[in-house]
Chains A and B, each alone.
Chain A
């Protein structure tokens, strides 16, 4: 450590010079980050402008006057109040079903050996990467025969019925890592199978539940293909992602209204992301760690 002998002044100058590349880098990254989020900034700005301003304004992001009536138009005329309500209903119900069934399945698969357990895990893992779009025809046919096609309940079941293998495996891995003493103590206290799970295991799995719930929320809120198919013949069932497509088709010149509709649709998920960022990131990172 020869640097300790140098005088204070030259040391801070040296540090400044050493730090220079970092600050250049930070500037570059800030610029890139601005470009990265620019589409969203532009959307918010456009949602408060008039059509004339958007078409003629070029790169100017500041509206002349805040046109909140664009939001009123998207909300009422564009039916986004219905679409948003549908999306919230579908998302909340789907998250509840997925969390419940994945916790139950993950618990028994992670902690018990029973006749057929290897087979069950094998089949689940084999379908880990099946994308939903490829199996849409049988899903529609099945829902049609069960009378589930043109209702939100059917949409929820179809969204919650997707494989969700990753969530089950996350739960299984978490429950597997818990000490056996927990269960033994519960049994000594006279707790049965169900009570042991509901009173001891489930509360202890809160971190996993948060991750699974957030990821399912993200997937369901952003789902497009299944909601599209389930609301084909009944526009009142549209979610925001389907509603946006319909709005574009019907009002292809109303850019401010569309931008306002986009803000309405994206705001909930972005706010959720801002507050629960850790769980989003952990959920995504889990795919690599396991």
Chain B
């Protein structure tokens, strides 16, 4: 009776060679397939509605002239693409995106690598505390962290400004100044998502068998030798995966950029709700300069 279950093994081949099929057996198999499709139904519906259809529709929209609201759609072929490619604003954001990736991806990949090597050492005290601390920003809501960062980086009274003042550096509007905005946004971005890449590397380090180190130590290898001849070569394959995952992640910077740079621009200083306290210097609204609002947005 158990033959109707055909678990797919890792090799991907059916477990049993197909025996001659009786009508009863075929009926059972049909029934089993019905169950299978029933199990897939919720995913089919939701995935079709919210993932598959939108992807197809996006391509269709890119080929029509349409204002987004009325039913009136006129097919225009590749005209929209031509317009975008001719738009200097598009190319400037592509440039900013690439520059942003060039800044943050290596910092995340190699910085997290160094940190993971340190945190993986069993002799380091407080390891799990460090892991928790460096991972904490990852779990927090990006849109809220962006707002908090606006306070932290505020040129008038934020803590970063206070530190810069201690070192005798004048007030710098790190997010409002176009020469520092991209780097500042990059640093905040790396801070926010560094923990993910660190966990990737820690997982990669866990895959190295412990007895390899023991064997090498018996052969007289020092700490550096172990690192150079065992850790590094075995981690090279992971470098590619982790780089791809990290670069792909860079396309998710919208929330952070939006909340860190926008919002303030639209709000002219209105009457404050906290009339009781009346702060001496309200935070300046930051609508000067050209902060990278959507560094990772393309067409």
Contact = CB atoms under 8 A, between A and B. Distances in A.
Contacts of A141: 57
Interface string A25-67: 1100110010011111011001000111011101100000000
B22 interface: no
Q: How would you classify the secondary structure of chain B's contact residues: helix, strand, loop or mixed?
A: helix
B140 A222 contact: yes
A253 B8 CA distance: 61
A274 B251 CA distance: 28
A127 B152 contact: no
Contacts, number: 302
Contact of B199 (A127, A262, A281): A281
A113 B68 contact: no
A265 B33 CA distance: 45
A222 B55 contact: no
B64 interface: no
B148 to A, nearest CB: 5
Contacts of A258: 147, 151
Contacts of B144: 240-241, 244, 262, 265-266
Given A110-B8, A183-B7, A252-B264, A134 B58 contact: yes
Nearest to B268: A252
Interface stretch (A5-13, A204-212, A282-290): A282-290
Given A241-B144, A245-B263, A137 B199 contact: no
Interface residues of A, number: 110
Interface in B260-299: 263-264, 266-267, 269-270, 272-274, 277-283, 285, 297
A162 B55 CA distance: 11
| Chain A binding surface SS class | helix
B259 interface: yes
Contacts of A252: 264, 267, 269-270, 272, 282-283, 285
Interface of A: 22, 25-26, 29-30, 33, 36-40, 42-43, 46, 50-52, 54-56, 58-59, 73, 77, 97, 100-102, 104-105, 107-115, 120, 123-124, 127, 129-131, 133-139, 141-142, 157-158, 160-164, 168, 176, 180, 183-184, 187-188, 193-194, 197, 218, 221-222, 224-225, 240-242, 244-245, 248-259, 262, 265-266, 269-270, 272-274, 277, 280-281, 284-285, 287-289
